[in-house]
Amino acid sequence: MSAAEVEARLGDLPDWGIDQHKLFRHFVFSNFVDAWGFMSQVALLAETMNHHPEWSNVYNRVEIYLTTHDADGISEKDFALASQIDSLL
Amino acid sequence: MSAAEVEARLGDLPDWGIDQHKLFRHFVFSNFVDAWGFMSQVALLAETMNHHPEWSNVYNRVEIYLTTHDADGISEKDFALASQIDSLL
């Protein structure tokens, strides 16, 4: 996906940006239980879609980076997963 | 906990080291399902102990950093959680 295509698609995902050439979103929850509940939903989504995030958690905070190693960059799969993640919230 | 104390306690946790002034261990599993299963166990441990890791996951890989913000460094709580994490494996 070209940089211009990525930029255009980002219009549909206002809470996501680009960081380190990956699709990125930062989430803040009330506490660890809420953050973990969200992550558990994302884990099931990711496994079902066979497309997994690069992500980290510190207590109530979650950072998700999406990229497609096979495509050496951001692909349709990343936008599809990002959209599904947003729909969890 | 002093640097000397940390060094001494690390003798009981041969798979852990120090990185960025935190107790650190890197784990590699067969796939995402196994990595996530492990993380789910750690999440329950952490919530039970009220001491949460800084951690990240990429597919079959998990990195865990333990530190105690209240103590501004590594404390007994970090070694206790690390030991419990090791016992999951």
Measured between its terminal Cα atoms, the distance across chain A in Å is 27
Which region among A84-88, B4-8, B38-42, B81-85 has the lowest average model confidence (pLDDT)? B4-8
- The residue to which tokens 């950072």 are assigned: A63
Task: Evaluate whether A11 touches A19 at the Cβ level (below 8 Å).
Answer: no
Q: What pLDDT was estimated at residue A1? A: 87
- Residue B1: what pLDDT? 87
Which residue in B has a C-alpha nearest to residue A31's C-alpha?
B47
Question: Structure pTM?
Answer: 0.95
Instruction: For residue B32, give the nearest of A33, A47, A59 by CB distance.
Output: A47
Nearest to B21 by CA among B7, B37, B39: B7
User: For chain A, what is the mean pLDDT?
Assistant: 96
Q: What is the pLDDT of residues B44-83, one digit of tens each?
A: 999 999 999 999 999 999 999 999 988 889 999 999 999 9
Structure tokens at B61: 């890989």
How far is A75 from A69, CA to CA, in rounded Å?
9
Select from A22, A29, A55, A58 the residue whose CB has the most chain B CBs within 10 Å, as the one to mutate to test that interface: A58
Per-residue confidence (pLDDT) for residue B76, from 0 to 100: 95
